Structure 1
Amino acid sequence: MEKYQRTLAELRTSSVLHWPTDILLEAGETSVLPVLLQTQEAFISLLKIANKDPSAWKNVLDSNTELTGPRFLKHLMVLTDLGGEALNKLPPLSNHFPDGIMRFTWNGKEHEYKFTVIQEKCALGNSSLKVDAKSLLKSNSLTAKMVDVAMLLMFGSTSTDDALPVEIKEKCCVGALMSAGADLDQFVRENYLRVSRQTGGATSNALGQLAQNFVVKRLKNALPATWEVIRNSTLPGVVHKDLGEGTNFDVVVKSPSAKYFGIEVSFQVTTNSTIERKARAAREMHAAVSKAGHKLCYVIGGAGNINIRVNASETLCTYSHCTVSLSAEEMRVLAEFFLRCEEPEGLGC
């Protein structure tokens, strides 16, 4: 039993801190924010050290193992609040920069950048720039079009002799914060907080559903066909004391001999109150499930749970018969626990 009743410290050795690629690929556009949050620190670090000249960021990006060209550009688009739809209205840039050259001020000096692609009419939507969700999950290289757009988003606010719309120009200010230290940190984090508030709830709900699907699919693959794996179901004899009806679990597993296992899933890369709610109910839930002769299991993962909501995660580990993280390998550990419980002498089940 000890092998499966892990402490948080033991769980950390196999914990998954960021959303598995399998889940992000299924999530579509919902996966964009988690991908960006995963590379936020790398993005900030790049801008802090790329201070030799306005295009130094390209060389730093080439040697970065976390950021791809599309991810770097998507960060800029989020921070400037200029998505593919808004950018797609700009070309040809010759309408705004007649000679195709952006003249701008940076670090007290005058600089020039000649657009190589977007000075002509071209598509600047998310898919064309390879910043749609599926492209962000691939290792796409930086293209000339991406460089054009990145330079505009970074330095457009200080350009001269241009005809950029004011509402666009004032947003293109990220370059002014390169090597700015605390100001850059504050700017990036405040803008991602804004985005998280706008989309975080929907993103979390959608990914939460996909996490449960991941658990169901992997367990079905790992267990014999005679086992039942059901999403959003109840355990016999476990009743919500206030509502008087069966307590719902994210996933329920039933063995051929009618042994039941209730599974709760919590995965947060940032942090929210979901795991706190589960933790408050954990002791009572464990007692009710055990009294009814069943087992309670938790799937816990994400940097928000493992590194931030530490007390809540520790509570779940304490009141769990088996605790695993969200990965294919860990689902096999969970399935192994079920199979051992099904054995005649299995773990006292």
Structure 2
Amino acid sequence: MPKYNRTLSELKSNAVLHWPEKILCAAGNASVLPLLLKTQDAFISLLKVANKSPLAWSEAIKQSNAITGPVFLKHLMVMTDLGGEALNKLPPLSNYCPSGVLLFDWGGKKYEYKFKEIQNKCSLANSALRVDSKKLLEGGDFTPRMLDVAMLLMFGSTASNDSLPMEVKDRCIIGTLIGHSDELDKFAKENYIRVSRQVGGATSNALGQLAQDYVVSCLKEMLPPNWIVSKDSSMPNVSHSANGNGTNFDVVAISPKGKYFGIEVSFQVTTNSVIERKARESESLMSSVHAAGHKICYVIDGAGNINIRQNAVGIICSHSDCTVAMSESEMKHMANYLLQTNS
């Protein structure tokens, strides 16, 4: 018989750790940060080893399974804090570099790169550079325009034949760090702390809602049509305060026989304190749910939960009737539990 009240180790062996692509596709702009966090190590590793020439990184990308052209360029934009919106506000590059050739220093030598498109007026918006959320997920190679922007962002700081604003040049230093492991690690850490603070909260909230939607969608598809599955609902006789207000669950499933299942959902690729709160409440919550004749289940996944908040997740596993990770096969495992418990 399948085991449903799993230990942390059993849950970890089934975890996917990073956001399922189905959820990211539905997330729109909220999907960008998780994708960047997932590929950050591969991006930095590529810059550490692609040090034979100023363009060695472009060849290394072709051999990478993790980094595509759009993802690489998006990382550059994040680390320089020069996204498509900021770039698009600049006048045509011909105003700053009339020759259309970028002369720059790298590794003690002088190099030149001839711009293919951006020396003339053209759109540098995220969609035109293939770094909007949809195209990031699609992947693909560099377009000439993308390559132009990448070279500017990497080597603009050492350019010698331009009149770029200093606030732009000062940010375009990544090319000077190629091959320098410690400096790359430090630069990446500082800049990803910045971007995480800027968008992390909104991203977490948006993706949290989509994670709940995913659970609801899967269970509705996998359970018979006479089951009721809803978000942000409560169960009879389960309250969290003296005034009798019903305890709200992320998802509630109700069987045709009137059996209730409260389902809490937590997916964190980074980490926050939500899982700690759920852990503190898990013992008393299970007691209240069981006293009312219902069941309590959890969907827990994400590297931030499974790898960082292990103690909290372990406590939750000890006070859960069914614990699963965030994948289609795991949703099937939970659906089977609901059906067996109702039989």
TM over 0.5: yes
- Tell me, what secondary structure is at the counterpart of 2:229? strand
1:108, distance to aligned residue in structure 2 (A): 1.8
Equivalent positions of 1:224-303 (< 5 A) are 224-242=224-242, 244-303=244-303
Rounded Cα–Cα distance in structure 1 between residues aligned with 2:320 and 2:184: 42
1:107, distance to aligned residue in structure 2 (A): 1.7
- Tell me, what secondary structure is at the counterpart of 2:285? helix
Contact 1:91–1:122 (CA under 8 A) maintained in structure 2: no
Runs of 4 or more, structure 1, over 4 Å off, are none
Structure 2: which amino acid aligns with 1:254? I
1:96, distance to aligned residue in structure 2 (A): 1.2
- The match for 2:108 is 108
Deviations 1:72-131 (A, max 9, x none): 000000110101111113353222111111111112221111111111111110000000
- The match for 1:219 is 219
Contact 2:71–2:139 (CA under 8 A) maintained in structure 1: no
- The match for 1:126 is 126
- The match for 2:139 is 139
Rounded Cα–Cα distance in structure 2 between residues aligned with 1:242 and 1:325: 33
- The match for 2:341 is 341
Aligned residues: 343
Contact 1:91–1:120 (CA under 8 A) maintained in structure 2: no
Query: TM-score with structure 2 length normalisation?
Result: 0.98
Contact 1:61–1:69 (CA under 8 A) maintained in structure 2: yes
- Tell me, what secondary structure is at the counterpart of 2:238? strand
1:243, distance to aligned residue in structure 2 (A): 5.0
1:145, distance to aligned residue in structure 2 (A): 1.1
- The match for 1:30 is 30
Q: Show structure 2 runs of 5+ residues with no match.
A: none
In the superposition, relative to structure 1, how do residues 235 and 134 fare at CA in structure 2: closer, same or farther (>3 Å)?
A: same
- Tell me, what secondary structure is at the counterpart of 2:249? strand
Rounded Cα–Cα distance in structure 1 between residues aligned with 2:258 and 2:197: 44
Percent of paired sites with the same residue: 59
1:242, distance to aligned residue in structure 2 (A): 4.7
- The match for 1:184 is 184
Structure 2: which amino acid aligns with 1:312? A
Rounded Cα–Cα distance in structure 1 between residues aligned with 2:161 and 2:274: 52
Equivalent positions of 1:52-131 (< 5 A) are 52-90=52-90, 92-131=92-131
Rounded Cα–Cα distance in structure 2 between residues aligned with 1:198 and 1:92: 29
Rounded Cα–Cα distance in structure 2 between residues aligned with 1:314 and 1:109: 55
Rounded Cα–Cα distance in structure 2 between residues aligned with 1:234 and 1:26: 26
Rounded Cα–Cα distance in structure 2 between residues aligned with 1:43 and 1:30: 20
Contact 1:91–1:118 (CA under 8 A) maintained in structure 2: no
- The match for 1:164 is 164
Structure 2: which amino acid aligns with 1:78? V
Structure 2: which amino acid aligns with 1:252? V
Rounded Cα–Cα distance in structure 2 between residues aligned with 1:224 and 1:9: 31
